[in-house]
């Protein structure tokens, strides 16, 4: 799917790589919510591998609980994968940089498809987890539930109400959403980076109705404190490039 992405992205005053020309994977992220909390940067840094630096905004690291619907995963020269290519997902993540290049670091990603979870761990070395999961938007409500079974046990239940479109996103909203790559650990603990591109996020206000989460603490983080920063997006179409040594 062709998507209109500018050739240079400016994120937190850092110029990021050009769009992915030869994607190894395409997918869609639909009905995505951002639930973020401030953290002491030293607490988050302690969970990151050597060579990766926690990225901060307003003096804080930010940890996100991100539920969405994955749709239509496809690979070069083949159509979207039926059944295995569409599923709910909830990830726990933070924001990092290496040599000035920002990206996402995942602590966990929960899905209800066992084969994609194994595949992602084996190829992208990303900590996918398997169990039961659901994610649905009904009217102006977004409801998500996860019951993790492997490789450990944990759970989350999230319910949000959705509000008005954010016409002029704040600098913080850009910091939390405008990320054009992901970092992971490969063989021998070596860092890898995969570029990502997609359309500009269309962001909306959102509020927490109910939240009973254990995924954040299962990642080794202390329980969140303070008010959460919450947003919603209908989603984007995504192109992911080949991972390379960071």
Its pTM stands at 0.89
Residue 11 maps to a domain = no
Q: What's the confidence (pLDDT) of residue 6?
A: 34
Cβ atoms < 10 Å from Cβ of 214: 15
For residue 7, the model assigns a pLDDT of 33
* pLDDT for the residue numbered 187: 78
Q: Containing domain of residue 48, as a range?
A: 23-245
Taking the C-alpha atoms of residue 244 and residue 241, their distance in angstroms, rounded to an integer, is: 9
Q: Is residue 224 classed as helix, strand or coil in its secondary structure?
A: coil
Domain count across the chain: 1
CB 220 within 8 A of CB 16: no
Please count the other Cβ atoms lying within 10 Å of the Cβ belonging to residue 15. 11
Residue 6 lies in a domain: no
Residue bearing tokens 């039961």: 132
At 115 the pLDDT is 83
Residue 125 lies in a domain: yes
Buried b / exposed e over 68-88, threshold 16 CB at 10 Å, is bbbbbbbeeeeeeeeeebbbb
Q: Using CA atoms in the order 167, 173, 174, 177, what is the torsion angle rounded to 10 degrees?
A: -110
The SS3 call for residue 171 is: helix
**Torsion on CA atoms 246, 110, 206, 159, rounded to nearest 10:** -170
Q: What is the pLDDT of residue 83?
A: 65
The predicted pLDDT at position 85 comes to 74
Nearest to 246 by CA among 62, 94, 103: 103
pLDDT the model gives residue 234: 98
**Helix, strand, or coil (residue 53):** strand
The continuous run of DSSP H or E covering 172 comes out as helix 171-177
Residue 233 forms part of a structural domain: yes
Q: What is the pLDDT of residue 18?
A: 64
CATH number at residue 89: 2.40.400.10
Closest-CA residue to 32 (of 181, 204, 234, 237): 234
Q: What is the pLDDT of residue 168?
A: 96
- Taking 50 as the pLDDT cut, the residues of the chain under it are 1-16
What pLDDT, in 10s, does the model give residues 216-237? Answer: 999 999 999 999 999 999 999 9
| Residue 113 within any structural domain of the chain | yes
Specify the pLDDT at position 11.
Answer: 37
């Amino acid at each position: 799917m062709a998507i209109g992405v500018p050739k240079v992205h400016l994120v937190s005053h850092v110029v990021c790589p050009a769009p992915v020309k030869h994607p190894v994977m395409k997918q869609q992220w639909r009905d995505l919510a951002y639930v973020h909390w401030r953290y002491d940067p030293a607490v988050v840094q302690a969970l990151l591998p050597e060579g990766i630096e926690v990225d901060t905004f307003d003096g804080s690291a930010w940890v996100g609980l991100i539920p969405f619907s994955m749709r239509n995963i496809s690979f070069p020269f083949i159509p979207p994968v039926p059944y295995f290519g569409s599923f709910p997902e909830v990830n726990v993540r933070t924001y990092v940089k290496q040599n000035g290049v920002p990206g996402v670091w995942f602590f966990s990603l929960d899905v209800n498809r066992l084969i994609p979870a194994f595949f992602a761990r084996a190829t992208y070395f990303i900590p996918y987890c398997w169990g039961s999961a659901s994610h649905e938007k009904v009217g102006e409500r977004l409801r998500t539930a996860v019951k993790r079974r492997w490789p450990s046990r944990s759970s989350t239940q999230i319910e949000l109400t959705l509000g008005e479109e954010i016409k002029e996103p704040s600098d913080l909203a850009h910091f939390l959403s405008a990320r054009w790559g992901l970092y992971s650990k490969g063989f021998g603990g070596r860092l890898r980076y995969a570029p990502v591109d997609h359309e500009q996020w269309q962001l909306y206000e959102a509020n927490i109705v109910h939240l009973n989460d254990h995924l954040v603490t299962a990642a080794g983080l202390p329980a969140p404190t303070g008010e959460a920063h919450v947003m919603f997006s209908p989603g984007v179409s995504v192109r992911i490039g080949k991972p390379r040594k960071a």
